[in-house]
Structure 1
Amino acid sequence: MSNKAQTTPADPEVLSIKSSVNIATIEPYGLRKGVYLSAIVAAIGGFLCGFDTGATSGVLTMISFQEQFFTKDNLEYLQGLLLAFFLMTAALGAFFSGYFCDRFSRKYTILGASILFCIGNVFLVIGYNLGLLLAGRLVGGLGAGLMT
């Protein structure tokens, strides 16, 4: 025989003596909208990073885009720089997002991050030179990082 203590299921009446609530009569809360909303908002940050990187990779391979913004000498370097700027500032934004959430609340941090991401995409849309594209990637990456 083993010397281990034997455990038996707890009796609801005994538990109700120790606490003021009888756990046998507790009704489950059910599905809460706030839990789902929080999960969706948290997933949006990861979606933004993945979607933006995937969409940019497709654009970087277009011949017309390469001819307008790059030369044969700096093609690989600038393509990597465009991708790295977004990911670098996204990592920076993710690092500081906890501080901003504590300081300004999650609601306003997510709102500000969304605005930054939109401003970065406006730079990308109006970007007629490489400087605007790089600025858009920096600002958009910061917004996406704060969103995570």
Structure 2
Amino acid sequence: MDMKLEVVVIPVSDVDKAKEFYVSLGWRLDADFATDEPFRVVQVTPPGSPSSVIFGTGLTTATPGSAQGLHLVVNDVEAARAELAGLGVDVSEVFHDAGGVFHHAGTQGRVPGPDPERRSYSSFVSFSDPDGNGWVVQEITTRLPGR
């Protein structure tokens, strides 16, 4: 049976501020529903993504800003960084990990610049939404077999 990741719920403190932030990134606003005062669902989708992000009120007990390591995939991390910076996002410089495989949590092990061999899956930038939910943009130019 196929199982596809459809939605990721992220915790935010100010729904309207989060909505403004994600829409300013060019993410499609799919829904903004409120059935009553303590329950509101906002759904946004990154350009080209089959999966969406949901936030709102009454959706999760997680602490706002506690979602970390959310990954977006691009084929050119330097162009993605330039676009995000151009939109006013406080985005990191391009980095690769000292271990060469993936990236460590936080900023540990970050080496400035893209992967020296420009290996797929090995170059990144990071940014956070207004609450501190942490996003990583990963460059993938050639997918591993079966992906």
Report the TM-score range of the alignment, normalised by the length of the smaller protein.
Answer: under 0.3
- Is the radius of gyration larger for structure 1 or structure 2? 1
Structure ranking higher on relative contact order (CA contacts 8 Å, 6+ apart): 1
- Structure having the larger proportion of residues in strand: 2
TM-score by length of 2: 0.21
